[in-house]
Copies of this chain bind each other. A is one copy, B any other.
Amino acid sequence: MGTATVRFQARKSVAQVEEGAELAPKFDDRGLITVVTTDADSGEVLMQGYMSAEALQLTISTGEAHYYSRSRQALWHKGATSGLVQTVRELLIDDDQDCIWLRVDVAGGASCHVGYRSCFYRKVPVGDEFAARQTDGHVALEWTETEKVFDPEEVYGDAPNPTIL
């Protein structure tokens, strides 16, 4: 575990940000950067979330995924409640440094609060499949995972559901 505080560089030029070796992340007007988290083995997208500067610093220094929960408005050490900690195998940043890609190993094999392995457990038919299956422009979602890895009620009890309508 590293103990040094991670520091970022100021954003000075497109060349620096896109082609340079300086870590100069862009946080949006909420102070957040977008994060995509995939399973390091399967490549499956597990979740999409956000990090504050502090969450990104802690993720880099500890090697465990930290996020910022918009629904709880708080720093979020993933797995602190559920035990489903994400160990970071690789942390990548995109061309304009406003998005993080985490490749992780997940304790317990699940990342979704609904109980599935991935948050992306339903798909939408596209193109010819959409045309064949749509009724008046509406189409039914199809499940790509059929069994939950855990029971959300057992793990989270009566904690408030993070989904906002």
- Asked if B34 contacts A163 (CB within 8 A), the reply is no
B residues less than 8 Å from A113 (CB atoms): 95
Contact flags A118-162 to B (C-beta < 8 A → 1, else 0) = 011111111110110010111111101000000000000000011
Interface of A is mostly: loop
- A residues near B, CB below 8 A? 1-7, 9, 11-14, 17-23, 26, 34, 36, 38, 42-45, 47-48, 59-63, 88, 90-96, 99, 101, 112-114, 116, 119-128, 130-131, 134, 136-142, 144, 161-165
B residues less than 8 Å from A17 (CB atoms): 163, 165
B residues less than 8 Å from A3 (CB atoms): 131
> CA separation between A124 and B164, bound complex, in Å?
32
> CA separation between A20 and B141, bound complex, in Å?
8
Which of the residues B12, B61, B128, B130 comes within 8 Å of A130, measured between beta carbons? Answer: B61
B residues less than 8 Å from A91 (CB atoms): 123-124, 126
Other contacts beyond A6-B139, A18-B114: 8, CB < 8 A: A1-B128, A2-B134, A9-B138, A19-B114, A43-B43, A62-B127, A91-B124, A99-B120
